[in-house]
Amino acid sequence: MLTALEQYDPSIYELIRQEAARQSGCIRLIPSENYVSRAVMQASGSCLTNKYAEGYPGKRYYEGQQVTDLIETVARERAKKVFKADHANVQPYSGSVANLAAYSALIEPGDMIMGMALPHGGHLTHGWKVSSTSRFFRSVSYPINPATGRLDYDHIRDLAKKHHPKVIISGATAYPREIDFEVFEGIAKEVGAYHVSDIAHIAGLVVAGIHKSPVPYADIVSTTSHKTLRGPRGGMLLCKAEHAAKVDRAVFPGLQGGPHMHTVTAIAVAMAEADTPEFQAYARQIVKNAKALAAKLLEHGFDLLSGGTDNHLMLIDLRKKGIPGKKLAKALDRARIVTNYNTIPGDDAPPMNPNGVRIGTPAITTRGFKEAQAEQVATFIKRVAENVDNESVIEEVGKEVLLLCSQFPVPDHFIMPNSTRS
């Protein structure tokens, strides 16, 4: 039988099928990517996509909310439980919107925020100059220590005392080490600032107890619902009870209209999945795989920012190899290994052709890779890097990657079967 999509729009059906095959037949090392479960996928594609639900449970601006109110309440309560938070808002469309809402809940336009510099591992929405957050708020950035590749908390404290920001942001998008959220709380208190923590990348590790949670130490915690958390593409805010009303107003009506109820529904499912022993085992394996991958890369002569990793990602510094990050990322992609080229601290190359490559282990861990496979991936990367202009070697690595992927298949709901049309 033909699916509705195949019958109505065969060209899009075919493109989706191709993407499913691509995801199945490659090693996905982008740290922010993962595979969701069948249940999350079904919730995301459910009839909840048909429903507008502007407002909050019990206080909507549209009728017909008997079910949506229950779903959003379940999602909020599950998020509160797994993160041990006083309050949760599950409506932000993305982590970027969640970050802007967090700042808006606490301070006024024109006030100063302070976050990690983008080239040092921070996110655009931590006040970087090309982001709208730097237009709505004045911003100052803190670097990492170039000698250690780690955060220098004394320097961050000195910057805070000099600039007196109203919000200090902890968290990163390309930082491979554990962050001491308690120290950030102390710095914020010293200068009379609020502490906002962005754990979009490590949320799954936090829920599983692999990394310290910022919830006890931050006024507001922002996160995406995907990445290591392995849910749909959305955002969430967690906060202390005293900030709950301000957070909710900042999201709606401050920045958004109606929430995407199909995503909220899928978040509810993902939070239930995160509250299981199986999820904890998965999160532990993410870190084991990352450490094994990092150790083997170091053995193969690669330089890694800070010399390794505590979490799910690592940043390869290619300057000693003499290979531009973009060139290696493109070669790896041809070998069916998907990464992203990335600026590294102290990089004098342009952002579109930097000297770094960022990799991570959430997606391969979901597929069932263990340490032995992570080490094999490191050897694949070495072979491609040593033969970056040799297409025959790259093609051979790609065949070996495909064979490895066949031993760790993606769950069947990611594979759209070929048409049965006669």
Report the C-alpha gap between 109 and 102 in whole angstroms: 12
Q: Select which of 78, 166, 177, 227 is catalytic.
A: 227
Dihedral pair phi/psi, residue 120, rounded to 5°: -105, 5
Q: Please tell me what DSSP assigns to residue 358.
A: E
Region of residue 105 (phi > 0: left; psi between -120 and 50: alpha; otherwise: beta): alpha
Q: Kindly provide the b/e burial profile for residues 205-220, where b requires at least 16 CB atoms within 10 angstroms of the residue's own CB.
A: bbbbebbbbbbebbbb
The answer to whether residue 54 is catalytic is yes
Report the C-alpha gap between 304 and 299 in whole angstroms: 11
Which residues are CB-neighbours of 197 under 8 A, at least 6 positions away?
169, 170, 171, 181, 184, 214, 217, 218, 220, 221, 222
Beta bridge partner(s), residue 304: 316
Q: Kindly provide the b/e burial profile for residues 134-148, where b requires at least 16 CB atoms within 10 angstroms of the residue's own CB.
A: bebbbbbbbbbeeee
Cis peptide bond upstream of 143, omega within 30: no
Q: Select which of 233, 246, 319, 382 is catalytic.
A: 233
Report the C-alpha gap between 214 and 235 in whole angstroms: 17
Please name which of 99, 82, 51 lies closest in space to residue 280, comparing C-alpha atoms: 82
Residue with tokens 């001491």: 180
The answer to whether residue 248 is catalytic is no
Q: Please tell me what DSSP assigns to residue 253.
A: I
The answer to whether residue 61 is catalytic is no
> How many helices and strands (H and E) does the chain possess?
16, 17
The answer to whether residue 227 is catalytic is yes
Report the C-alpha gap between 74 and 268 in whole angstroms: 6
Dihedral pair phi/psi, residue 96, rounded to 5°: -65, -45
The answer to whether residue 309 is catalytic is no
- Tokens (6 digits) for 294: 């990092």
Q: How do strand 194-198 and strand 167-171 relate by DSSP bridges? A: parallel
Region of residue 307 (phi > 0: left; psi between -120 and 50: alpha; otherwise: beta): left
Q: Select which of 14, 33, 54, 111 is catalytic.
A: 54
- Asked if residues 225 and 202 have their Cβ atoms less than 8 Å apart, the reply is no
Q: Please tell me whether residue 13 adopts helix, strand or coil conformation.
A: helix
The answer to whether residue 198 is catalytic is yes
Q: Select which of 6, 185, 198, 310 is catalytic.
A: 198
Q: Select which of 68, 125, 133, 224 is catalytic.
A: 224
Report the C-alpha gap between 184 and 141 in whole angstroms: 14
282: amino acid identity, one letter: Y
Q: Catalytic residue numbers?
A: 52, 54, 198, 224, 227, 233
